[in-house]
């Protein structure tokens, strides 16, 4: 319902193979030599760091449409991960004012706030920034490198996370007055386009968090007006150390998360794209089903003689299955000057 599925096939011809023709012995020797060189190049490419698996800019520029440019880049998958990053149409490049309306959630964070009088929906106003996918670690944009508007964009994950988190903290503190901030401020956010799968955050209270993407997929519509993405993430959280302990941070905890996002151009867009609408669903792992009161959930056997059981193929013993909590957000991006 959120998108039209489209797969990107990468066959042997995409790697440069051509059908072998019946020619003379000299031609066969030359073909064999070329084939060996090709195999060596492929093996070197597979052994290279993820950042070198990106297609050259010239190939992205050669694409006839933004959607084709995204598919070219996304087809260079990393085994077990998928595309090196989420690539967006070039009209995403720039700065945006973002209004996020959190409409529903059963996540522990929002459940705790609800018990203290903070009810959904909650509106968060923050900023987001997108840069050309090959802007480099220092985000240096050379006009000679981007000769047309088909160069895909990527999200500046550190900037976007820090802006959203700060706005969320301010809004929560406004809705729920406490003697100290509900959420600790971010001290540093480290992320680069050359290593897009890891975002490292440290907080002023001594805690830290690492968000690492472990798998992703991307679909883009033929006209480039909408894009869908899915990312699985591993989140390592280190709490602040006890006041009387020596060292930095307490015992780390690891959880899993999945983010589903759909973007589309706003129907009100006229000259250029200045409004983009989005829907985001975040699934966070929150312990196991054994930690949850399953009597209230019919899907988990609520009301039956054996509470906590769910039908096959899961079997009757479900207490060790992960308990996933979801948060749904409607998003509106409006282009800003910076």
pLDDT digits (tens, 9 = 90+) for 88-131: 998 899 999 999 999 999 998 999 888 888 899 999 999 999 99
Contact 227, 89 (CB under 8 A): yes
Sheet with 153-155: list strands edge to edge.
Answer: 153-155, 122-132, 94-105, 322-336, 275-288, 253-265, 226-238, 208-220, 195-203, 186-192
CA 157 to chain centre: 9
Q: Identify the pLDDT of residue 95.
A: 94
Of the two residues 317 and 209, the one the predictor is more confident about is 209
Of the two residues 18 and 293, the one the predictor is more confident about is 293
Q: What are phi and psi of 90, to 5 degrees?
A: -60, -20
Q: Identify the pLDDT of residue 134.
A: 82
In terms of Cβ atoms closer than 10 Å to its own Cβ (0-12, 13-18, 19+), residue 99 is middle
Cβ neighbours of residue 183 under 8 Å, at least 6 residues apart? 165, 168, 169, 172, 173
What is the C-alpha to C-alpha distance for residues 54 and 48, in angstroms, rounded to an integer? 11
Q: Identify the pLDDT of residue 18.
A: 35
pLDDT tens digit sequence for 41-62: 444 444 444 433 444 444 455 5
Residue 256 has pLDDT above 60, yes or no: yes
Detail the DSSP E strand segments found in 145-224.
153-155, 186-192, 195-203, 208-220
Of the two residues 136 and 235, the one the predictor is more confident about is 235
- Average pLDDT of the residues in 277-292: 82
pLDDT tens digit sequence for 217-248: 999 998 888 999 999 999 999 998 765 445 55
DSSP 19: P
Q: Identify the pLDDT of residue 222.
A: 87
Three-state DSSP at 20 gives coil
Q: Identify the pLDDT of residue 329.
A: 98
Cβ neighbours of residue 324 under 8 Å, at least 6 residues apart? 283, 284, 285, 286
Of the two residues 322 and 18, the one the predictor is more confident about is 322
Report the percentage of the chain scoring pLDDT > 90.
Answer: 38
Q: Where residue 308 falls among pLDDT bands split at 50, 70, 90? A: very low
DSSP 241: P
What is the C-alpha to C-alpha distance for residues 335 and 275, in angstroms, rounded to an integer? 6
Q: Identify the pLDDT of residue 191.
A: 93
Angle at 32 between CA 29 and CA 35, to 5 degrees: 150
Q: Identify the pLDDT of residue 288.
A: 66
Q: How high does pLDDT run on average in the chain?
A: 74
Q: Where residue 267 falls among pLDDT bands split at 50, 70, 90? A: low
**Residues, the chain:** 338
Beta-ladder partners of 195: 192
Residue 212 has pLDDT above 90, yes or no: yes
The pTM of the full predicted model, rounded to 2 decimals, is: 0.70
Nearest to 141 by CA among 96, 93, 87, 189: 93
């Amino acid at each position: 319902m959120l998108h039209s599925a489209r797969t990107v096939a990468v066959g042997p011809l995409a790697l440069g193979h051509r059908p072998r023709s019946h020619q003379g012995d000299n031609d066969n020797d030359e073909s064999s030599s070329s084939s060996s060189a090709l195999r060596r190049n492929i093996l070197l490419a597979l052994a290279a760091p993820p950042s070198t698996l990106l297609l050259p800019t010239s190939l992205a520029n050669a694409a006839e449409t933004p959607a084709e440019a995204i598919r070219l880049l996304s087809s260079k998958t990393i085994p077990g991960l998928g595309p090196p990053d989420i690539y967006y149409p070039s009209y995403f490049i720039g700065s945006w004012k973002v209004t996020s309306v959190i409409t529903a959630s059963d996540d522990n964070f929002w459940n705790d706030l609800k018990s203290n009088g903070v009810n959904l929906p909650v509106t968060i106003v923050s900023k987001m920034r997108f840069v050309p996918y090959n802007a480099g670690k220092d985000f240096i944009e050379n006009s000679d490198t981007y000769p047309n508007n088909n160069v895909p964009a990527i999200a500046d994950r550190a900037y976007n996370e820090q802006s959203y988190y700060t706005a969320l903290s301010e809004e929560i503190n406004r809705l729920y007055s406490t003697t100290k901030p509900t959420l600790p401020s971010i001290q540093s956010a480290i992320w680069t386009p050359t290593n897009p799968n890891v975002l490292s955050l440290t907080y002023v209270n001594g805690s830290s968090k690492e968000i690492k993407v472990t798998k992703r997929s991307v679909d883009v519509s033929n006209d480039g007006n909408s894009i869908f993405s899915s990312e699985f993430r591993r989140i390592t959280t280190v709490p602040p150390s006890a006041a009387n302990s020596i060292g930095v941070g307490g015992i780390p905890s690891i959880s899993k998360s999945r983010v589903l996002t759909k973007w589309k151009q706003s129907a009100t867009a006229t000259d250029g794209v200045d409004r983009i609408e989005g829907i985001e669903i975040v699934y966070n792992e929150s312990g196991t089903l054994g930690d949850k009161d399953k009597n209230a959930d019919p899907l988990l056997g609520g009301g039956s003689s054996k509470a906590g059981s769910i039908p096959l193929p899961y079997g009757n013993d479900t207490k060790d299955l992960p308990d996933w909590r979801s948060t749904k957000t409607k998003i509106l991006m409006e282009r800003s000057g910076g």
